[in-house]
Structure 1
Amino acid sequence: MTKRRYDDACGTAVALEFLGERWSMLVIRELIYGPRRFGEIKANLPGISANVLTQRLETMEAAGIVVRRKLASPANIQVYELTAWGREAEPIIQVMGRWAARSRRHDPLAYMSTASAMQSLMTLVDRDALTGWEARIAFRFPDDGFVVSVADGDMTIERGEAADADVTLTGDTMAMRFTIYGKMRFDGPQTLALTGDHALAERFVDLFRLPEKIA
């Protein structure tokens, strides 16, 4: 970055220099759960052009938010991932998402990537209800997978598979929303398929609520 956008010492102004461009925060969202190829990032950001995505990645790489590297053999592919400092932006995304979800303009049925679906869980979880129990919940999406771990009054999410999960939920992100936020029963035509401990799965679903809309 060669010039400042704001002549302002406020940290918020500086943050906007890094995150204020259209798509920038969504690029970070897509990288929260690990490195992604250029094509994977673009596929999960409908409407972004290849040129704009290239510009955003170059700007964030220059700012120290994103790093580009090549995976070791046999993959030998170039990926982008967040730096340690870049990952510190995750709470910002969650706070903004929780705030904006109260708007009547928020459409919970619009397109949602798998990373966005998992961030919604981190954003809208009832953290007071995490205390006193443990669980490993696997989400299997058509082209992605995540493991949600509840333990010690906290919840974490990692990309990957878990053969030892207490519960496995299978479907797409729309089925995830109908199940988690719509509170529709498992194994329906529009909901997630459930394998494993049914009572534990119900307790997990009860952790999440969409916030009430502002008047």
Structure 2
Amino acid sequence: MPVQRGYRQACGIARGLDIVGERWSLLLVRELLLGPKRFTDLQQALPAASPNALSDRLRELTDVGVINRRQLPPPGAARVYELTPWGRSLEPIVIALGTWALAAPRTAEQQFVSVDSAMLTIRTYYVPAPGRPATLRIELDDRGSAGVFGVHLTSAVAEVFHEPPLEPDAALTTKTDALLAAFGNADLRGLMDTGAAMSGDPEAVRRLLVAVQVPAPADQQQ
């Protein structure tokens, strides 16, 4: 098991922590929920983790069956890490933990948001609403090539992909913090005032922003 000093209890909670309780383990799971990543991608998403710590966690999670490592076919030929089906079943647990933690005020040092974490906000807090399906290209231009995503909205779910659509209904280029601040707001002017650029159907962008209803953190609740 990954944990060096296990809890030595039969309780399922203790056994689960024996598997994913080491530092960085659950954040690696978070970073792989939207698809496979290279080691360098994981380093970028978890900048406070040392390369040795990431290597150790990846090896341990691979050994126990949470993560799988595979080689991409040519011309990529890169080695990537991805969640196994068992690993992907951790998603509701990881999301529930994150939502639960919103009740705790954020500290001054808790500022960094990984690009996948920002985009998981869409999939997690999307409130289903009537409307025709729409596809969007989202570019977080403060995150380089890692910040380009595709979003597909339906009346039931919001799907998020690393691969952007070739012919989206709308395209939005913005900063990560600006996008997160715009969720839940129907007025696009505030987002555009931050320097964001938009093309295509503005209603698709508005529909996305309005439908992502993130619970207010404890330090912002009235």
Superposed, 1:90-169 pairs within 5 Å as: 90-105=91-106, 110-126=111-127, 129-141=128-140, 142-144=144-146, 145-169=148-172
What RMSD, in angstroms, separates the aligned Cα atoms of the two structures?
2.4
Kept in 2, the 8 Å contact 1:132–1:153? The answer is no
Using the alignment, how far apart are the partners of 1:133 and 1:211 within structure 2?
26
Using the alignment, how far apart are the partners of 1:210 and 1:93 within structure 2?
16
Superposed, 1:26-37 pairs within 5 Å as: 26-37=27-38
Per mean C-alpha deviation after superposition, the further-off stretch among 179-188 and 152-161 is 179-188
Is structure 2 residue 89 aligned with structure 1 residue 84? no
Is structure 2 residue 211 aligned with structure 1 residue 212? no
Distance 1:205 1:92, change over 3 A: same
Using the alignment, how far apart are the partners of 2:6 and 2:129 within structure 1?
42
Residue type matched to 1:137 in 2?
Answer: L
TM-score by length of 2: 0.85
Distance 1:199 1:210, change over 3 A: same
Per mean C-alpha deviation after superposition, the further-off stretch among 45-54 and 175-184 is 175-184
Residue type matched to 2:152 in 1?
Answer: S
- 1:160-195 CA-to-partner distances (Å, cap 9, x unmatched) read 11122112111231232233267662322x353211
Kept in 2, the 8 Å contact 1:30–1:115? The answer is yes
Using the alignment, how far apart are the partners of 1:148 and 1:10 within structure 2?
39
Between Structure 1 and Structure 2, how many residues are aligned?
A: 212
Per mean C-alpha deviation after superposition, the further-off stretch among 165-174 and 64-73 is 165-174
Match of 1:198 among 195, 199, 202: 202
Kept in 1, the 8 Å contact 2:121–2:212? The answer is no
Question: 5+ unaligned residues in a row in structure 2: which ranges?
Answer: none
Using the alignment, how far apart are the partners of 1:107 and 1:165 within structure 2?
38
Distance 1:191 1:7, change over 3 A: farther
Runs of 4+ aligned structure 1 residues displaced above 4 Å come to 106-109, 181-184
Secondary structure, counterpart of 1:130 in structure 2: coil
Using the alignment, how far apart are the partners of 1:166 and 1:90 within structure 2?
29
Aligned to 1:47: 48
Using the alignment, how far apart are the partners of 1:18 and 1:136 within structure 2?
37
Using the alignment, how far apart are the partners of 1:120 and 1:135 within structure 2?
18
Question: 5+ unaligned residues in a row in structure 1: which ranges?
Answer: none
Distance 1:109 1:4, change over 3 A: closer
Cα offset, 1:152, TM superposition: 4.2
Using the alignment, how far apart are the partners of 1:106 and 1:153 within structure 2?
34
Distance 1:27 1:40, change over 3 A: same
- 1:13-50 CA-to-partner distances (Å, cap 9, x unmatched) read 22111221111111111111221111110111021000
